Amino acid sequence: MVISPEGNPELRAVARRWLRAAPPPSAEWEYADARQPSSNLDDLTLDVGGRTVALGEIIVQTQPAGSRLGVVMHHDVLSPLAEQDRQQIAFLALDNAVGEDVVETWLGTIEVSTEPPDQGVPLGKLADLVAAHRAAHLNEDGSPTWQLLQGDGPKGPLLALALVPLYPTIAAQHDNHVMVTVPYVDRTDHGFPSEPALEALRSFEDHLSNRLGGSGTLVASETSAGVRTLHYYVDSTSSGAEVVAGAVTGWPDGTVRVVTAHDPGWQAVRHLA
């Protein structure tokens, strides 16, 4: 049984909670909160706009773009179709090839080309390409990695750490953004924390994460000009936000501010993905 959110962030959280509450799989029933890849891709066809597309005849080419893969797709039947119909077939074909969660988490720009790509491969090979790309961006146990980002913020140099992949499918039930703004006094000429301040900040993060437990996830941090901003996502049906707010007291370098907002699409950290 599959309950698909159809790309709707609000429904994604609901579907994930349903899956987490589902009974264990049995010989008769399995459960998923997104469309699963098809085991017989070459035998499938899609009918859109009065035309039939054999999925096994679709050609794709991938291009890495950060932690995601851009995809160019081609099939002769797609060229005369309206743009909306082409995109509909493209996403349905990709869902069947690699599964809905993989499409949303690991694929970036999706283009339907009127010409075959120069280095295209059959759609059935896409799963292997995505698997290799995922392996390069995950830990050996399959858990997310962290990437370091550097740039300039409104108040000077900025350092950020962000989970890879940074997308709500990794914890869809965590649909409330909790932004924790932590000031620090002891800093370098560039505005970054000194070694003692950095150790204190890390201990503070560990303290908050331990208090949250499984009801929340630290997904990113941004550090600049004497302030570290922690981005947590918590389950809106839990007391996670209240737990964070109650755990920030006692910080010696000033007032720690906590702001909570409903954000099932993780828009608040999209600039770090």
Q: Bigger pLDDT: 76 or 230?
A: 230
- 57 and 83 inside one domain: yes
Residue 241's pLDDT is what? Answer: 97
Average pLDDT for 34-52: 89
- 90 and 69 inside one domain: yes
Residue 7's pLDDT is what? Answer: 85
Q: What are phi and psi of 154, to 5 degrees?
A: -60, -25
- 17 and 86 inside one domain: no
Q: What's the Cα-to-Cα distance from 153 to each of 81, 139, 258, rounded to whole Å?
A: 44, 29, 21
Residue 259's pLDDT is what? Answer: 98
Three-state DSSP class for residue 108:
strand
- The two tokens of residue 148 are 């370091």
Tell me if the bond preceding 165 is cis, omega within 30° of 0.
Answer: yes
Is the pLDDT at 49 greater than 80, yes or no? no
Confidence of residue 81 (pLDDT cuts 50, 70, 90): confident
Residue 127's pLDDT is what? Answer: 96
Q: Mean pLDDT over all residues of the chain?
A: 94
- 265 and 244 inside one domain: yes
CA distance linking residue 210 with residue 6, whole number of Å: 33
- 160 and 244 inside one domain: yes
Per-residue pLDDT tens for 146-161? 999 999 999 999 999 9
Q: With pLDDT > 70 as the criterion, what percentage of the chain qualifies?
A: 100
Per-residue pLDDT tens for 164-211? 999 999 999 999 999 999 999 999 999 999 999 999 999 999 999 999
Expressed in angstroms, the distance from the first to the final Cα of the chain is 31
- 124 and 203 inside one domain: no
- From the list 214, 208, 212, 133, the residue with the least C-alpha distance to 173 is 214
- 7 and 94 inside one domain: no
**How many domains does the chain contain in total?**
3
Indicate the pTM of the whole model. Answer: 0.91
- 189 and 243 inside one domain: yes
- 242 and 171 inside one domain: yes
Three-state DSSP class for residue 226:
coil
Residue 79's pLDDT is what? Answer: 82
Q: Bigger pLDDT: 80 or 155?
A: 155
Residue 214's pLDDT is what? Answer: 87
What amino acid is encoded at 55 in this protein? L
- 96 and 168 inside one domain: no
The residue from 116, 137, 158 where one domain ends is 137
Q: What residues make up the domain containing 170? A: 145-272
Unique residue bearing structure tokens 């339907």:
112
Residues across the chain: 273
- 177 and 218 inside one domain: yes
- 5 and 95 inside one domain: no
Per-residue pLDDT tens for 211-267? 999 899 999 999 999 999 999 999 999 999 999 999 999 999 999 999 999 999 999
CATH of the domain at 198: 3.30.70
185-193 contact pairs (CB < 8 A, 24+): 185/226, 185/253, 185/254, 187/226, 190/156, 190/157, 191/155, 191/156, 191/157, 191/224, 191/225, 191/226, 192/157, 192/159, 192/223, 192/224, 193/223, 193/228
